[in-house]
Structure 1
Amino acid sequence: MKSIILYYSQCVTGNTEKIAKRIAEGLRSGGNTCDLIKLRKYARDLELVRTIDFHTYDLLGIGVPVYYFHPPYHILHLLEEFPRLDGIKGFLFCTSGGNPGSTLYQMKLVLDKKGLKIIDGCDRWIGHDVHQMYSRRGGHLESSAGHPTEEELEQARRFGERLIEKARDPDTPEKTDFWTRDNESARMWTFEGIQRWFPEFKLNKDKCTRCGKCAEICPVDSIILDPYPRWTKDCDRCYICELMCPEKAIECDWSKQCDYIESLMERRKKIKEGDIS
């Protein structure tokens, strides 16, 4: 059996890449083959997708990190540009800080239109959740520290092994039970919502050395050097450019978002302790 996995994984933690590699390991058992392709930049990935003959594969897997209870929006746009996938079986997976929202369901809605038959998926793998919103909590979601664990990576490998049997079985049913519910935050953080709610990019030119790191790692090519970094269009608001800037020259005001997270965590703590319903 011949399979292919396309995945996008942030350069900060590489959570999704770790899971993708273990799934591929499972899919390669028993002499089967699995091509593993890392998605990096939207424009480059679009050209790449146009060169792949997906009908030479029996199984197509797609994996993403979760952005604000959603798939990265540029990946959704990329899926919309896929060719027809009739007759091919597929699977989906994601990594999150603990709440994937309806990430895989949103991806499936796009892929249904391409004719891909989704036979399996997993949205329960936890990855180390690093984000500036958690700056008052050590820079990461505490409950996600140390993930994915070796046990979770082993689960991913076994998931890949089980996919072989499912892909070979002509009677394997389509998977339709991906979580469809969205919470209040997920409804707020639509693509339009994140443009309004998250902080604007502020460049400190006194610190900036024009090294180009931010433009290099931006997955949607939103940043150009002119000659200093300049943001040219709306983006996924991953803020990797700020997080990875070697000179800390990108300075965003996260006070409102940190206040929100702290309020949310306090409410969850009270609910857990039974103080409020």
Structure 2
Amino acid sequence: MKIKNIYAVYFSPTGNTKKIACFMAEKMAEQLNCPHKEISFTLPEERNQTYTFGPDDFVVIASPTYAGKLPNKILPDFKEKLKGDGSPAAALVTFGNRSFDNSLAELCAVLEASGFQTVAGGAFACRHAFTDKLAPGRPDEADLKELAILAERTADKLRNTDGIFSPVNVDGDADAPYYVPKGMDGQPAKFLKAVPKTHEELCIRCGACARLCPMGSIDPEEPGNVTGICIKCQSCIRGCPQQAKYFDDPAFLSHVAMLEENFAEPKKNHKYL
């Protein structure tokens, strides 16, 4: 089949999922000799519109893994705002060195239900949003080489078919429940209501945290005021130029410590065609 356009669509609060999506789209564009564009799906205003793709568009759609699945507060937007018309797609997820569990299966199911044809999939280990001690520096050069191979093989698959694809078979169960975070004591760590705090003596009221929040939940005039849902994405933490944002919730910190103790060994990527 002939592809005319390639798109990278990503929800990426801390940047690594964007890196994965855009890299694959760029490599696919090189292989298929067509233009590529990127569409951020991260900020609230970026998720207000519906994006519709045609049968000669190839779409790389990427999301981080949250508790073993897609981010639950963003899931409705994935379902309602991304529409395909038989559009071939690659489903990509990133995970912070624990496991992607069922996120890739869920993303594939969502895309198939929205008119896409999933022709490739991948789960790539990236630095954990919570801590630099898990998958530090990833995606690295070796990860991108793997992704380049996936892009090359996906391009071959597109060139050698007539446009009708069976859904890609990936690991996981789209209907499985979310992973339950554990603390250092092995018991469930309950931190759903935890919100980032602000070192007032460091904050310069630049508004970066408010602009970066994918839920629009930080008051730009009073950055210490969290007015809505926090999905623990760490965008405000990692994006603050003064390092003024932090979490002090005991259950959250216990969960991070558990992850650091038990999931430091580098995990492999998973690729599907």
Normalised by the length of structure 1, the TM-score is: 0.76
Query: Relative to 1, partners in 2 of residues 1:263 and 1:107: Cα closer, same or farther, differing over 3 Å?
Result: closer
Structure 1 counterpart of 2:17, one-letter code: T
Give distance in 2, aligned partners of 1:196 and 1:167: 44
**Partner in structure 1 of residue 105 of structure 2:** 105
Q: After TM superposition, give the deviation of residue 100 of structure 1 in Å.
A: 1.0
Please list the CA deviations of residues 11-59 of structure 1 after superposition, one character each: whole Å capped at 9, or x if unmatched. 4xx3223322331232123452242314154432224x53x44116332
Structure 2 counterpart of 1:54, one-letter code: F
Structure 2 counterpart of 1:87, one-letter code: G
Q: After TM superposition, give the deviation of residue 265 of structure 1 in Å.
A: 6.0
Structure 1 counterpart of 2:122, one-letter code: C
Normalised by the length of structure 2, the TM-score is: 0.77
Which structure: greater helix fraction?
1
> What percent of counterpart residues are identical?
24
Q: After TM superposition, give the deviation of residue 217 of structure 1 in Å.
A: 0.9
**Partner SS state of residue 60, structure 2:** strand
Give distance in 2, aligned partners of 1:115 and 1:181: 17
**Partner in structure 2 of residue 145 of structure 1:** 136
| Match 1:179 to one of 157, 167, 172 | 172
How many residues are aligned here? 253
Q: Could you tell me whether the CA contact under 8 Å between 1:119 and 1:173 is conserved in 2?
A: yes
| Match 1:246 to one of 218, 237, 241 | 241
**Partner in structure 1 of residue 65 of structure 2:** 66
Ranges in structure 2 where 5+ consecutive residues have no aligned partner: 183-187, 265-273
Q: After TM superposition, give the deviation of residue 130 of structure 1 in Å.
A: 4.2
Structure 2 counterpart of 1:160, one-letter code: A
Q: Could you tell me whether the CA contact under 8 Å between 1:215 and 1:229 is conserved in 2?
A: no
Please list the CA deviations of residues 219-274 of structure 1 after superposition, one character each: whole Å capped at 9, or x if unmatched. 221112244542221132213213433334334214333334445665789xxxxx
Structure 2 counterpart of 1:202, one-letter code: K
Larger mean CA deviation between 214-223 and 224-233 belongs to 224-233
Matched, 1:80 2:79: yes
Query: Relative to 1, partners in 2 of residues 1:41 and 1:266: Cα closer, same or farther, differing over 3 Å?
Result: closer
**Partner SS state of residue 120, structure 1:** strand
Q: Could you tell me whether the CA contact under 8 Å between 1:8 and 1:38 is conserved in 2?
A: no
Matched, 1:203 2:203: no
Give distance in 2, aligned partners of 1:186 and 1:46: 26
Query: Relative to 1, partners in 2 of residues 1:68 and 1:27: Cα closer, same or farther, differing over 3 Å?
Result: same
Ranges in structure 1 where 5+ consecutive residues have no aligned partner: 270-277
**Partner SS state of residue 257, structure 1:** helix
Larger Rg: 1
Q: How does 1:120-159 map to 2 (within 5 A)?
A: 120-123=120-123, 125-131=124-130, 134=131, 139-141=132-134, 144-159=135-150
Q: Could you tell me whether the CA contact under 8 Å between 2:127 and 2:139 is conserved in 1?
A: yes
Give distance in 1, aligned partners of 2:68 and 2:33: 34
**Partner SS state of residue 231, structure 1:** coil
Q: After TM superposition, give the deviation of residue 6 of structure 1 in Å.
A: 0.8
Query: Which of the pair has the greater relative contact order for Cα pairs under 8 Å at 6+ separation?
Result: 2
Please list the CA deviations of residues 176-219 of structure 1 after superposition, one character each: whole Å capped at 9, or x if unmatched. 33322899971459xxx998446333334444322111101112
Give distance in 1, aligned partners of 2:119 and 2:142: 23
